[in-house]
Structure 1
Amino acid sequence: MPPASSPGSQVSRFTTLDRAQRVRFRRAVALMVMTLAVPGSAQLVAGNRRVGRIAMRTWMGLGVALLLSVVVSYFSHGFAFWAVSNTWLLGLARLVLMALAVGWALLFMDAWRLGQPLELQRQHRLAVVGVNGFLCFSVAGALLFGAHMVGVQRQFMITMFGDGPVVGAHDGRFNMLLLGGDSGAGRWGLRPDSLTVASIDARTGKTVLIGLPRNMSNFPFAEGSVMAEQFPDGFDCDECYLNGVSTWAGDHTDLFKGSKTPGVDATVSAVEGVTGLKINYWAMVNLAGFRNLVDAVGGVTLTVRERIPVGLPYDDFYRFIEPGTRKLDGMDTLWFARARDGSDDYSRMARQKCVMNAMLQQISPQDALRNFSKIAAASSEMISTNVPKGEVDTFLDLAIKAKSQKIGTVSLVPPKIVTADPDINLVHSMVAAAIDRAEGVKPAPATTEAAPATSEAGDQTSDETAAGTTSPSTPGPTTTPAPVTGGSVGSLKDGYAANQADDLGSVC
């Protein structure tokens, strides 16, 4: 009979086996952690070194490229805006992220194989499978989600923006025509609810909002345009208003050969004739999509000065937004900007400018990132524009600059402008003066002979009073509160503050 082993030797043997199992388990886990920290390092140590070198070089190269991109973007926002708006680069990034997800997952699986799971104890084997599965799906899932987000951004750029020609700044400014209406994107037969020109300094982003009343008539069109040929004496037909120009053009599309948007083209020529500005680009805002955009960013905080009706008296959802500073959802923000019950068009124009200011100031990059998919979907439904994809980075950069600056406004409305028969020379001088003030150009002092003839000095004083500023000869502020009419500071007789201001935020 073989000699019986002593109990001490059996304990020693089991202890050695347990220690070996624990070493193998730690080795298997270490290989997976190495793959997580430095993809390819596990293969370089314990597997196919060629695969390991390729994986590590790829990982290091992408890491250096990402680091350099972050550094450059920190010092130059323009590079970041170019990167997120370049469809070719976004397509490449999407493919790279998808390939990384698949490749990294394969490296995790190979690291699990290198850990020799069949030689592990059952509980260790199950633990290794769990850790490997968690790391594999977490990393691959994060990369695939990133690829999805990049794909959303790329599709957004393709859907939203066109491939038209790039138009340089005019006299150092980009002039963007913003049209608002109930039509779906791409439908141009409607009468726009609102017409605003955003004149943006091409260097500083300083913005002036120029509001045009939809009921303006007897105005000229830009020289040389189709509409100027048809109406050489101005848009003076019966019931012919500024918001009806697009409808007229839609009924006479044969005059606009080769144009995909005759209604917008005609409206642009009208706005250029009225304001004296050359329009660079236009954007058509579908107000129903605007509601979804506000909801996507979590609402907008606005100062409600009077009860604003939501809906019309016969609507089942008819109610009021009560006065106070409050955060409004998309539905309430839309009606704050559009309501006319107990109000007038010019008060509504003032409220619309306050909404524009709030949207610009309150939507932060953090909000945009958190709600990116919702914002992209809402924006695609909301806006049609002829801004080319190659110019998006320029306007993103200008929008960031504009956030830190005061927004000026000038509206071509009563009491200074008679909308039924506007004085176009006065309109041009008002627009030029507002832009000059935004650029810090002081108005030339009015001479004794010029004042009675043009009343420009009086007009300038009115502008400054509406903007909340005073001239040296003006008495100090009184204790009488400013009137509020239709939810806007001011009145139809004296004008609304938000329609004539050098600092829109201070009067909203």
Structure 2
Amino acid sequence: MRRGVGLLLLSAIAPGSAQLAVGHRRVGRLALRIWGAVLGLGLLLALIGLLSWSALVTVVANPLVLALLVVVLVGGALGWIVLFIDAWRLSYPPGMDRRHRQVFAAVTLALVVLVGSSYGLGARAAVSSTRTLGAVFTGGGSARATDGRVNVLLLGADAGQSRVGLRPDSITVASVDVRTGRTVLFSLPRNLEDVPFPEDSPMHERYPDGFSCPDHSCLLNAVYTTATQAAEQDPKVYKGVADPGAQATKEAVEATTGLTINYYAMVDMAGFSGLVDALGGITLDITRDVPIGGGSSPILGWIRAGQGVHLDGYHALWFARSREGSNDFERMQRQKCVMAAVLHQADPVTMVAKFDELATAGGRIVVTDVPRSDVGRLSDLALKSRALPITSVSFVPPLVYPGNPKFDVVRTTVKDHIRTAEDLDRQAQRDHTSAAASTAPRTTAPAAAPVAAASTAPNSTAPAPVAPTRTSGAPEQTKAAAAKAGAPASTAPETDDLDVICRVASAG
């Protein structure tokens, strides 16, 4: 019995060692070499991950690597099971008494089932990931940075029956510095009217003076449906484009903001709950109760206010989508809070440990033009973004009135806030260089230190808002737009550190 247990332990720790000790030495040496190669490959991947997260994601997302992983897992499982059975044989069970023989057989069977199920789950995850990555990351977007930035259009479609992706209710551009990862979120109202299209857009031919209708139904979130229907009626419109609605929306956002959109990602907000659950939930500070339901349906419950409230997918979805007792502008802020929480709380360890669940959830909810080859690069940018506060800009009254928008104000505001973000990066670099060059502790902080400190301390319990430096006269334009619309200009800033906004957003 002791000899049998020892051989099983040897097989469990180092497959082939039992055969090397008392059985077929050639088989044992071969198995140990294979096992050593697998361990070496695992260590190599771990080292790649430590040196470059984007390189690891690129490797793992490669379909050939995933196919090879499936072969290795299936072959390894079968080989290990055979070695366990052979170790049981080498233990000579007929020489044991009946009780020991039964216990020994049960232990062997348990190890066989454990190895087989573990490897089987791994192989299934690899197959599922291969299918999901191929289905989601179909490509079409451009990796070329403009002025050192990559701009991603994030569309949230509040799904109903036969409605997924038809009218995006959340429209946000994430502008990311490719060097530092510093991110500015620009949120556009879904009911923005008269949005322009670039001159080379097929939609510009139909709406040369902007997307406008006498009945005011031509809103920004209706561009998707309108372009899709136009492409269905005339195949020459957006010929060769996989998703005409998304392409037209990208073009409208580009003309509105003055940014070049590299990629888009459309998220089914109803399926979004599965993604949050796969991450283990998110945690937010909530300053007032948010209803679940409401509007045309009864209120089913409440998301209660509190510090550090942990939300599962169902409650995170309702926190982002709830309309009862709030307006679109508050919803825009809450949605950005959820985005920021997912970004900051989705750590690499969780992503690796739950890769299959995340990939499966992503396949159900995401449509994007990001090619698979760019996944690693964007993952690296996301990790850089996590280390810095996110600046948020909402184009809401009095800055911009959706029914009477001033697009020059939008474009100027975008430029100002990107310039401010870049100034913060330059200041942080200067502070870092000065600190490295100094051999004595400072007794007096430089004038710009508070801003730099706020920008490099994302885990602060009360991060200071980033006050943009304006040089283009945007405030005057904003006041003029507000006066023309017949509403007083607000003294509240339209931008802030997103951590601050998240504490204010749900306060109404």
TM-score by length of 1: 0.79
Equivalent position of 2:150 in the other structure: 174
Equivalent position of 2:198 in the other structure: 222
Equivalent residue of 1:283, what SS?
strand
1:322 lines up with 2:289 in the alignment: no
Equivalent residue of 1:53, what SS?
helix
1:91 lines up with 2:67 in the alignment: yes
Cα pair 1:200 1:207 within 8 Å, conserved: yes
Equivalent position of 2:244 in the other structure: 262
Deviation at 1:263, TM superposition (A): 1.1
Equivalent position of 2:291 in the other structure: 309
Paired with 2:325 and 2:94, the residues of 1 have a C-alpha distance of 80
Cα pair 2:400 2:406 within 8 Å, conserved: yes
Cα pair 2:133 2:359 within 8 Å, conserved: no
Q: Which residue identity does 2:495 align to in structure 1? A: Q
Equivalent position of 2:46 in the other structure: 70
Equivalent position of 1:500 in the other structure: 495
Deviation at 1:113, TM superposition (A): 1.6
Cα pair 2:126 2:356 within 8 Å, conserved: no
Gaps of 5+ in 1: 1-24, 444-466, 473-490
TM-score by length of 2: 0.79
Q: Which residue identity does 1:417 align to in structure 2? A: V
Q: Which residue identity does 2:374 align to in structure 1? A: E
CA displacement 1:12-41 (0-9 Å, x = unmatched): xxxxxxxxxxxxx43333332222222222
Equivalent position of 1:116 in the other structure: 92
Paired with 1:330 and 1:177, the residues of 2 have a C-alpha distance of 22
Equivalent residue of 2:265, what SS?
strand
Paired with 1:45 and 1:388, the residues of 2 have a C-alpha distance of 50
Paired with 1:177 and 1:46, the residues of 2 have a C-alpha distance of 63
Deviation at 1:153, TM superposition (A): 2.5
Equivalent residue of 1:31, what SS?
helix
Between the two proteins, the alignment pairs up a number of residues equal to: 441
Paired with 2:193 and 2:141, the residues of 1 have a C-alpha distance of 31
Paired with 1:260 and 1:245, the residues of 2 have a C-alpha distance of 16
Cα pair 1:188 1:246 within 8 Å, conserved: no
1:388 lines up with 2:350 in the alignment: no
Identity %: 42
1:28 lines up with 2:29 in the alignment: no
Q: 1:33 to 1:394 in 2, by over 3 A?
A: same
Deviation at 1:195, TM superposition (A): 0.6
Matches within 5 A, 1:165-204: 166-183=142-159, 190-204=166-180
Equivalent residue of 2:28, what SS?
helix
Equivalent position of 2:281 in the other structure: 299
- 221-230 or 309-318, larger mean C-alpha shift: 309-318
Matches within 5 A, 1:203-242: 203-238=179-214, 239=216, 240-242=218-220
Paired with 2:131 and 2:488, the residues of 1 have a C-alpha distance of 45
Paired with 2:268 and 2:350, the residues of 1 have a C-alpha distance of 22
Cα pair 1:194 1:214 within 8 Å, conserved: yes
Q: Choose which of 373, 383, 398 in structure 2 pairs with 1:415.
A: 398
Cα pair 1:214 1:243 within 8 Å, conserved: yes
Cα pair 1:219 1:421 within 8 Å, conserved: no
Q: 1:188 to 1:233 in 2, by over 3 A?
A: farther
Paired with 1:61 and 1:149, the residues of 2 have a C-alpha distance of 22
Paired with 2:423 and 2:80, the residues of 1 have a C-alpha distance of 56
Matches within 5 A, 1:434-453: 434-440=417-423
Paired with 1:298 and 1:104, the residues of 2 have a C-alpha distance of 33
Q: Choose which of 79, 92, 109 in structure 2 pairs with 1:103.
A: 79
Paired with 1:398 and 1:89, the residues of 2 have a C-alpha distance of 23
Paired with 2:411 and 2:285, the residues of 1 have a C-alpha distance of 32
Deviation at 1:438, TM superposition (A): 1.5
Paired with 1:374 and 1:298, the residues of 2 have a C-alpha distance of 11
Cα pair 2:290 2:302 within 8 Å, conserved: yes
1:283 lines up with 2:278 in the alignment: no
Q: Which residue identity does 1:94 align to in structure 2? A: V
Q: 1:142 to 1:323 in 2, by over 3 A?
A: closer
Deviation at 1:321, TM superposition (A): 3.1
Equivalent position of 1:457 in the other structure: none
CA displacement 1:138-196 (0-9 Å, x = unmatched): 23332222222323322321232114465322221111111111347996772211110
Cα pair 2:398 2:488 within 8 Å, conserved: yes
Cα pair 2:138 2:370 within 8 Å, conserved: yes
Paired with 2:276 and 2:353, the residues of 1 have a C-alpha distance of 14
Matches within 5 A, 1:130-141: 130-141=106-117
Q: Which residue identity does 1:104 align to in structure 2? A: W
Gaps of 5+ in 2: 427-463, 470-486, 503-508
